[in-house]
Amino acid sequence: MNILVIATHNGHQVDRSSLSAIEFARQIAGDAQFVQVLLLGHQIDAAVAHASRFAPVLYADHEILSEPLADRFAVVIASVAKDSRVDIVVAASGSWAHDVVGRAAGLLGGTMVGNVIQHQINDGELLFKRSLYAGRVTATVALCKYPGVVTVRGSAYPAASEYPEPFPVTTVDLAGMEIRVRGSHLGLVARSGDRPDPTDARVIVSGGYAFKTAENFEQLVGGLADTLGAAAGASRALVNVGGAPSEIQIGLTGKVVAPELYLAFGISGAIQHLAGMKNSRIIVAVNTDPNAPIFKAADYGLVGDVFQVIPELIDKLSW
Ligand SMILES: Cc1cc2nc3c(=O)[nH]c(=O)nc-3n(C[C@H](O)[C@H](O)[C@H](O)COP(=O)(O)OP(=O)(O)OC[C@H]3O[C@@H](n4cnc5c(N)ncnc54)[C@H](O)[C@@H]3O)c2cc1C
């Protein structure tokens, strides 16, 4: 089975979630030699070199691809998938992937399965599990028409391991492709800050409604995150009152994460929040309410006040 993984990158490195998509592809392909990675963008030499440590790389480096606009990217993805006789196109789940590879699925005329958390092969048939209703229901689905397009949750698979020697790298010729420029990119407002993205982080310090204001959140959750070199996360209740930016909301309608360590401060543990972090390897919760549901999901719990516990932690860890 030939698999094409659409890898996202920051121009220098392939994103952690795409490395998980490569691992998923290796597992369903049966053999790593049937997996190829496609990188699109402009001035992406470093990212291409990084990707070549994981699988053979196809890449298109062109001005027209400098911004990740779905109508342009989807045409290239569909064209490469057709030319390479790909059985399944894989990408890491996310709103960008669902926009871009969703369009590519339409152009390819196959079927799409989104947000896969597990797979199995039953009597030769490839089956995928998807989590629905905040993890209460797991649906098992199959592709009924190929080529298929599958997005996989980055937290559900480990990052692919590197090979000692780089794989070959091949340029994609855009000449024969009808890339119509229907939309244009006017600008990007990115929040400043050096903290890692929660989706890629090994440690996340997360804060809930207990913090109430952006000042408290930044000083305590942000302060501890910076002390640990961790990402910051937040519950929706805190995001809703402007206490934290929406990009770092964790949960059903936010990001789904699975770090090595998830520190939940002043978060009650609503099912919608748990849906985004319950697969973390170790969960630590601090809450004043000993009956808070978060303690049921936690490996370690402390009944305490975050306004007292976090400054103490920062103080101890700063030594
Ligand atoms: C369709 C839908 C989608 C949703 N999606 C999401 C989502 O993606 N992510 C998400 O998080 N929520 C989501 N929610 C909201 C969710 O149901 C909860 O309302 C939310 O998670 C609660 O956030 P919280 O735990 O911060 O706030 P609260 O439930 O108000 O809990 C605050 C906690 O802080 C504790 N506390 C208060 N003061 C202190 C202190 N000083 N020290 C220590 N502890 C203290 C309290 O005991 C309490 O447990 C969604 C809801 C719906 C209906």
Peptide bond before 56: cis, by omega within 30 degrees of 0?
no
Question: Under CATH, what is the fold of the domain 203-317?
Answer: Rossmann fold (3.40.50)
Kindly tell me if the per-residue pLDDT of 190 is higher than 70.
no
Percent share of the chain, pLDDT over 70: 98
pLDDT at 319: 65
Q: Name residues whose C-beta falls within 8 Å of residue 218's C-beta, 6 or more positions apart in sequence.
A: none
Q: Which atom of ligand 1 is nearest to the CA of 286?
A: 43
| Mean pLDDT on 31-46 | 94
Which protein residue's CA is at the shortest distance from atom 4 of ligand 1?
A: 272
What pLDDT, in 10s, does the model give residues 251-299? Answer: 999 998 988 999 999 999 999 999 999 989 999 999 999 999 999 999 9
pTM: predicted TM-score of the whole model, two decimal places:
0.77
Q: Is the pLDDT of residue 200 over 90?
A: no
* For residue 112, pLDDT beyond 90: yes
Residue 193 Cα, ligand 1 centroid: separation in angstroms?
25
Q: Is the pLDDT confidence value at 304 over 60?
A: yes
Q: Is 254 in the pocket of ligand 1 (CB under 6 A)?
A: yes
Q: Whose CA is nearest to atom 42 of ligand 1?
A: 305
d(CA 28, CA 22): 10
| pLDDT category of residue 91 using cuts at 50, 70 and 90 | very high
Residue 292 Cβ < 6 Å to ligand 1: yes
Residue 206 in contact with ligand 1 by CB distance below 6 A: no
- Reduced to 3 states, what is the DSSP secondary structure of residue 57? strand
**CA of 157: how far to CAs of 10, 52, 154, in Å?**
21, 20, 6
Options 1.10.3080.10, 3.40.50.620, 3.20.20.100, 3.90.320.10; CATH for 3-171 is 3.40.50.620
**208 C-beta closer than 6 A to ligand 1:** yes
The residue whose CB lies within 8 Å of the most ligand 1 atoms, and thus the one to mutate among 205, 286, 288, is: 288
pLDDT of residue 132: 77
Asked if residue 110 has its Cβ within 6 Å of ligand 1, the reply is no
Percent of the residues in the chain that have a pLDDT greater than 90, as a whole number: 77
**Range of lowest pLDDT (97-101, 156-160, 176-180, 228-232):** 176-180
Domain with CATH 3.40.50.1220 in the chain: 203-317
**Residue nearest atom 18 of ligand 1, based on CA coordinates:** 270
**Is 153 strand, coil or helix?**
coil
Compute the distance between CA of residue 112 and CA of residue 126 in angstroms, rounded to an integer: 13
| Å from CA of 279 to ligand 1 middle | 18
- Give residue 38's pLDDT: 98
User: What's the Cα-to-Cα distance from 125 to each of 22, 33, 94, 137, rounded to whole Å?
Assistant: 20, 20, 26, 22
> Rounded to the nearest whole angstrom, what is the distance from the C-alpha of residue 155 to the centroid of ligand 1?
22
Mutate to test the pocket of ligand 1, among 199, 241, 286, 287 (most ligand atoms within 8 A of CB): 287
What does the pLDDT read at residue 191? Answer: 59
CB 5 within 8 Å of CB 14 = no
**pLDDT (tens digit per residue) in 124-142:** 899 999 977 767 788 999 9
What does the CA dihedral 69, 75, 78, 79 come to, rounded to 10 degrees? Answer: -140
Which amino acid, 47? A
- Quick one: pLDDT at residue 211? 98
The alpha-carbon radius of gyration of the chain (Å, integer) is 21
Give 222 Cα–ligand 1 centroid separation in angstroms: 18
Scanning 32-94, the segments in alpha helix (DSSP H) are 45-51, 70-83
Cα–Cα dist 233/250, whole Å: 6
Instruction: Establish whether residue 251 lines the binding site of ligand 1, counting it when its CB lies within 6 angstroms of any ligand atom.
Output: yes
Whether the CA torsion 19, 20, 22, 27 is positive or negative: it is: positive
pLDDT at 44: 97
Position in ligand 1 atom list of the atom nearest CA 238: 26
Whether residue 57 has pLDDT greater than 70: yes
Geometric angle at alpha carbon 174, from 81 and 148, rounded to 5°: 15
3-state secondary structure of 136: coil
How confident is the prediction for the chain on average, in pLDDT?
93
Mutate to test the pocket of ligand 1, among 219, 253, 278 (most ligand atoms within 8 A of CB): 253
Q: Is the Cβ atom of 93 under 6 angstroms away from ligand 1?
A: no
Q: Is the CB of 276 under 6 A from ligand 1?
A: yes
Domain with CATH 3.40.50.620 in the chain: 3-171
Q: How confident is the model at residue 246 (pLDDT cuts 50, 70, 90)?
A: very high
User: Whose C-alpha lies nearest to ligand 1, atom 23?
Assistant: 237
- Confidence (pLDDT) at 262: 98
Q: How far apart are CA 121 and CA 131, in angstroms?
A: 18
Q: What is the pLDDT of residues 8-29, one digit of tens each?
A: 999 999 998 899 999 999 999 9
- Report the pLDDT averaged over residues 52-56: 97
For residue 237, the model assigns a pLDDT of 98
Measured CA to CA in angstroms, residue 171 lies from 32, 39, 62 at distances of: 20, 10, 11
193 or 275, higher pLDDT? 275
